[in-house]
Amino acid sequence: DLAFTMHMLHWLATDGTAAIVEFPGVLYRGGAEQKIRKYLIDNNYVEAVIQLPPDLFFGTTIGTCVIVLKKSKNTNDVLFVDASAEFVRSGNKNKLSPDNLQNILMALEDREHQDYFATMIANSAIAENDYNIAVSSYVEAEDTREVINITELNARIEQIVASQSELRTEIDAIVADLEGSK
């Protein structure tokens, strides 16, 4: 997959920009792909990596990514954008709405840290992480789990168990009455 990316880089003008849609495996797999990522990072060609939402393209439900390449970068870092939640459901597919696209483009333009959405990582830090450029390795996912008060939960369980025990006692009494009236 990244061999095609190298072909595009070869034909890219010195002041050009390429945005290439890839499957996520190319961002972290070892072997030849890791060597290509090393080349791209060490030569400062990767401008940004954008994680797209799942189910955008016909024929696959996998969330794809976009690697943005530039030959004439003036910074030694990479912008990582987690746009996996930037979609609207349309029929049986997800779509990028104008607002979703605007959010992604603003992140690319601003190149600033935004909690749970975008962050800048130095090329040297990427090298230390074995040239892994998966967005999830750098942009923290928002924790959307519900916070539960365990003390309140245990008290509620005790109430339910007590109520259940009371009901069983009442049912046993009713059954005993029915058996006694035979």
C-alpha dist (Å) from residue 158 to 161, 169, 170, 171, 174: 5, 17, 18, 20, 24
Other residues' Cβ atoms within 10 Å of the Cβ of residue 82: 24
pLDDT in tens, 65-111: 999 999 999 999 999 999 999 999 988 899 999 999 999 999 999 99
pLDDT in tens, 4-55: 899 999 999 999 999 999 999 999 999 999 999 999 999 999 999 999 999 9
pLDDT in tens, 42-53: 999 999 999 999
Task: Say what the pLDDT of residue 182 is.
Answer: 63
Res. 162: pLDDT tops 70: yes
In the block, residue with structure tokens 């539960």 = 148
What sign does the dihedral 146-100-23-136 (CA atoms) show?
Answer: negative
Res. 2: pLDDT tops 70: yes
pTM over 0.75: yes
Q: Kindly state the percentage of the chain with pLDDT values over 90.
A: 79
